[in-house]
Each structure stands twice: as C-alpha cells, then as structure tokens.
Structure 1
C-alpha cells in the first residue's frame, strides 16, 4: 500500500508521498513514488503514484522515454501546452498500460489486479498551478475550491487531519506540518505505509522546487511532530468533560 497527498494553496502546491511497497508482512521494500520534471523558467511537473508497482513503473518509464523522443504519436509531458493536456496524456498512458497487462495475462474478467492511480501536479508559465487525480480508467478530476487536496493509497487515517486543518491561505511551513501530522496518523494506524517520506513544495511561478526533502525515521522535526501530536491528543482527550453513569450533563 502507499499514501500520497497533493495540496493546493494560494502560494502554490505541496506534495508528500511515502516509499513503502509490500507484498505481505515479510516482503517490504522501499521505492520512490514521487517523480518530477522541470524546464527552468517554463514548467514544473510532479507525479505521485499508488497501486501496482509494475504498472506505475511502466507508466513513469514510458513518460521518460517520450521526453527523450517526443512526437505526435508519442506526446511528451514536456511539450504539452497545458496541465490539462498533461493530465490527459498521463491518464491515457495509465489506462493503456493497465489494459495491456490484463490482456497479456488474460485477467480481464478477474478484477483490476494491475490497478493504479496517480496525482499529477504542476504549473506551466503564464498559467495557474493545477492538481489532478488520475483514476485507473484514465479519466481524472481537478482540485477545486470544494476539493483542494487529493489523497491516493491508504487515505482514511490521514484524511480527518487534513479536513480539519486545511486552509488555502496557510503558509508552506504550516502545510508541511499539517501533512506530517496526517502521515504520522496514517503511519501509526497502518503498517503498509512507512518511512521515509518524500516532500516537495512548488511555489507559484517558480518553475523548480522551492523545497525538496526526504524525511527519514531519524528526522528530528518529524520525530518532534510525532511525539508532540500524540501528547496534544492525550491532553485534549483528558480535558473533555467526564462521562457519568449517573444523571447525564444537561
């Protein structure tokens, strides 16, 4: 399993992904799930992946090959004129890879064994930063005022934190802190999500990462966030009114 989050702010985009891949409790590996391409002064594109590892690696590898030899029949994300068209390219490629793998193995009637989903984020010069969620079928939706962040993978444990804490006007630093709490909550609840985490901050109209870091288990700030959040939760719990078996509070 995995956990990835992409978030839209007034200031730009913030992305975080874990790196754990497992096929059972005794077969756990670390693989990068965040991939970034940039053309200085012109565009920056980042993709995060969740799902079948062979499927997502095939999509990323084909995108890399297209960037080397672009053409009309093999469109490159480095040549596409809009982020919408980039999302379309990625969606079609993901759908084709999944359908091709199912055809090769004869698994069409047995469910989406090779399924995967992706978050596409970035900005092209003179346009707005944009964020898309790509489904296995190749279709996608875009982040909006009503849905300002996307999650893929193991989403349920970290979502309540994001829903309660998100503010589109927040600073990049506060957004990173919010994502760390969300990831810490997911990490504590599900063994299929694990460190290290990859973090990227994309500032509006800056076509290279403002901040890019791999957060390991020894990262002092993440350790402080994790311990402080646990203490804050316990303190908040014990500050709530006590339940009584006698007459209820009126």
Structure 2
C-alpha cells in the first residue's frame, strides 16, 4: 500500500511519501512515489502517487508530453508552460484520463480497477502556492484554509496528529515535523507502509528547493523522532487519571447519574431475554 501526505501553510509546503508497494505478502517492493518538477526561478511542482503502480507510472510518463488546449489561444499547454497551477493540474487530470482510456478496459477485463490517487502541488511564477488532490477520473479538489493538507493511501493512522496540529499559520519546520510524526504513526500501525521515505520542504516564493531528503532506518533525526514520540505519548497517557467509578478522590467520576443514559439491562438467568 502507500501513505503520502502534503501540507500547505503560509510559509511553504511539505511533501512526504513512503516507498513500499505490495501485491501480497510475497511481493513487497520499493518504488518511489514522489516526483519533483523544477525549473528554478520559474516553477516548482511535486507529485505524489498512490494506487495501482502500473497506472501511476504510466501517468508519470505521459505527463511529460501531455497537453491541453489554452481556452483563449488554443495553444497547447503542458506542465512546463502552464501559466498557473490550475492549468498544470488540468494537464495532470488529462494524463490520468488518457491512461484510463488506453488501459482501463483491459484492467477491468482482468478483474482490476483503474485505481490511482495523486497529490499535486507547488508554485508557478508570482502565483500563490496551490495544492490539489486528483482522483481516478481526472477530477480534482484544492486545499483550503480549513483543510490545509491532503493524504492518499493509508491515511487513517496519520490523520489525527495532522488534524490537531496543522493550521495555515503552522511554521514550516513544525509542519515538517508533524508530517514525519504522521508517517511514523502509520508505519507503526500498518505493515504495508515502509521506509525509506522521501521528503521535500518548499519555502514559499523560492521556486526551487534544496531541502530534499531520503530517510532510511539509519537517519538520526527520524530515529530520535520515533523514540521520542513513543516515549512522550506514553508519558501523556500515564499522566491522565484512571477512571473512578464511585467518585473516589476525584471530582470527575466516570459514572454519573443521567436520565439520558439509563443503566444497561443485565441478564441474570439463562432464560431471561432482552426486551
């Protein structure tokens, strides 16, 4: 499986992906799921992929040459000459539909779904940064102030920390740390997601980035983060008072009188039935 996430704040963007793929317990491989499109001073874009590996790889290849028509001039628009991130993600959506038209029927005939999910974000020229999630149909949605991050793949394990921490005002390094904690939580709970990780941190307005890293088991920061997060979670858990059933020494008992929540009926005889 896969876990990828991307975060957009006012300070910049963070992209993070794992590299494990599997087609059963005997077919586990490592493939990178991140691709960077960069022309320094002009545009910086990152694509993350999840789903059927053959589909996502085909989309990546076709995207290099895929084009749509400019609505005003009729000229071909590619990701390299698009004047906005909106136009660039339209090209990506067109590439997804192109692969679906070419391979979709054959996949369905083989009993497989046309399954791909993509995160695409970055900045072109003076336009503000933008972040999109692209679906299998080639349609897409954009991140907003209320939802400044996207996830694809095994998202449920890493989502709680993103929900609690990330806002548009989160400093860029804090967003990067939160993304890694989100990934660590996923790695800890799902064997289909695995190291190494690919990470890009992009500072708004730079139109290039040298903050690109591949993180493996020996990365000292990731090892520190993993052990510290585990230890601190346990400390927080231990610091929460255990339930007190009959008042005890606390003013926050677990059991309180309430007409809305009457006591559950107990069965005290093998013949007694619940009504």
TM-score normalised per structure 1: 0.92
CA contact (8 A) 1:15 1:200 kept: yes
1:160 and 2:137 are equivalent in the alignment: no
Map 1:77-88 onto structure 2 (within 5 A): 77-88=79-90
* Structure with larger RCO (C-alpha < 8 A, sep 6+): 1
1:24 and 2:31 are equivalent in the alignment: no
1:222 and 2:186 are equivalent in the alignment: no
In structure 2, C-alpha distance between the alignment counterparts of 1:102 and 1:226, rounded to whole Å: 40
SS at match of 1:104: helix
In structure 2, C-alpha distance between the alignment counterparts of 1:105 and 1:124, rounded to whole Å: 35
CA contact (8 A) 1:66 1:74 kept: no
SS at match of 2:96: helix
CA 40–48 in structure 1, closer or farther in 2 if over 3 Å, else same: same
Q: How many residues align?
A: 244
In structure 1, C-alpha distance between the alignment counterparts of 2:6 and 2:170, rounded to whole Å: 15
CA contact (8 A) 2:108 2:114 kept: no
Structure 1 range deviating more: 151-160 or 165-174? 165-174
CA contact (8 A) 1:37 1:45 kept: yes
2:144 alignment partner in structure 1: 144
In structure 1, C-alpha distance between the alignment counterparts of 2:115 and 2:100, rounded to whole Å: 6
Map 1:1-250 onto structure 2 (within 5 A): 1-66=1-66, 75-107=77-109, 113-247=113-247, 249-250=252-253
SS at match of 1:101: helix
CA contact (8 A) 1:203 1:210 kept: no
CA 21–74 in structure 1, closer or farther in 2 if over 3 Å, else same: farther
RMSD between superposed Cα atoms in Å: 1.9
Tell me how far 1:169 sits from its aligned partner.
Answer: 2.0
The runs of 5 or more residues in structure 2 that have no matched partner are 68-73, 254-275
CA contact (8 A) 2:50 2:118 kept: yes
CA 229–105 in structure 1, closer or farther in 2 if over 3 Å, else same: closer
Tell me how far 1:245 sits from its aligned partner.
Answer: 4.2
In structure 2, C-alpha distance between the alignment counterparts of 1:105 and 1:86, rounded to whole Å: 27
In structure 2, C-alpha distance between the alignment counterparts of 1:105 and 1:217, rounded to whole Å: 36
Higher Cα Rg: structure 1 or 2? 2
CA contact (8 A) 2:22 2:28 kept: yes
Instruction: Give 4+ residue runs of structure 1 displaced > 4 Å after superposition.
Output: none
TM-score normalised per structure 2: 0.84
Name whichever structure is richer in helix by fraction: 1
